[in-house]
């Protein structure tokens, strides 16, 4: 994949994530986040995932199995953080957990297959994959919150 395409996909997923986060209430019973806050959260997540991807790229050739375990732990941590947010808004936490856990496993398996097919770790492609994963989690969280407040 061309590097420009990979970086465009990465940035686009986090920009879309800001739009989804805009609809998530910051507190139970409140309206959606302001654009500034949603954009700020998406920018912080982008920066953290960029740091994550760039640091992994340095040691990935020497320990690919460690990389895969860490990638799974990162996805699990985001699922659990989302569970806390969804559970704070109502009783749809178990529904979110079922959807998000399946999404995390599918995301990790895709990461594994892409990593093996590419013959190595590529930061831009992984950043785009993590952005899509976070976007999916945000949509699932939004569904859980909307069902709980309906």
pLDDT digits (tens, 9 = 90+) for 38-62: 999 999 999 999 998 888 777 767 7
Residue 67 pLDDT greater than 90, yes or no = no
Q: Which of 135, 139, 120 has the alpha carbon at shortest distance from 1?
A: 120
Residue 27 pLDDT greater than 90, yes or no = no
Q: Which residues pair with 25 in a beta bridge?
A: 32
Rounded Cα distance, 99 and 141, in Å: 9
15: Cα within 13 Å, side-chain hemisphere: 6
Overall pTM > 0.85 = yes
Report the pLDDT value the prediction gives residue 111, as an integer from 0 to 100: 87
**Number of compact structural domains in the chain:** 1
Look up the domain containing 28 and give its range: 3-149
What kind and span of H or E run contains 110? Answer: helix 93-118
Express each pLDDT in 84-123 by its tens digit. Answer: 999 998 899 999 999 999 999 999 999 888 888 887 778 8
Q: Which of 71, 96, 98 has the alpha carbon at shortest distance from 84?
A: 96
Rounded Cα distance, 29 and 123, in Å: 38
């Amino acid at each position: 994949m061309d590097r420009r395409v990979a970086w465009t996909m990465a940035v686009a997923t986090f920009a879309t994530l800001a739009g989804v986060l805009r609809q998530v209430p910051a507190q139970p019973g409140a309206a959606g986040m302001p654009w500034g806050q949603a954009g700020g959260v998406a920018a912080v997540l982008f920066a953290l995932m960029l740091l994550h991807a760039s640091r992994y790229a340095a040691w990935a050739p020497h320990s690919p199995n460690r990389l895969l375990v860490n990638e799974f732990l990162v996805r699990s941590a985001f699922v659990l953080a989302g569970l806390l947010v969804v559970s704070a808004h109502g009783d749809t936490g178990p529904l979110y957990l079922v959807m998000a856990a399946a999404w995390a496993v599918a995301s990790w398996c895709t990461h594994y297959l892409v990593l093996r097919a590419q013959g190595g770790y590529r930061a831009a492609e992984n950043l785009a994959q993590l952005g899509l994963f976070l976007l999916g989690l945000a949509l699932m969280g939004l569904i859980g919150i909307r069902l709980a407040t309906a």
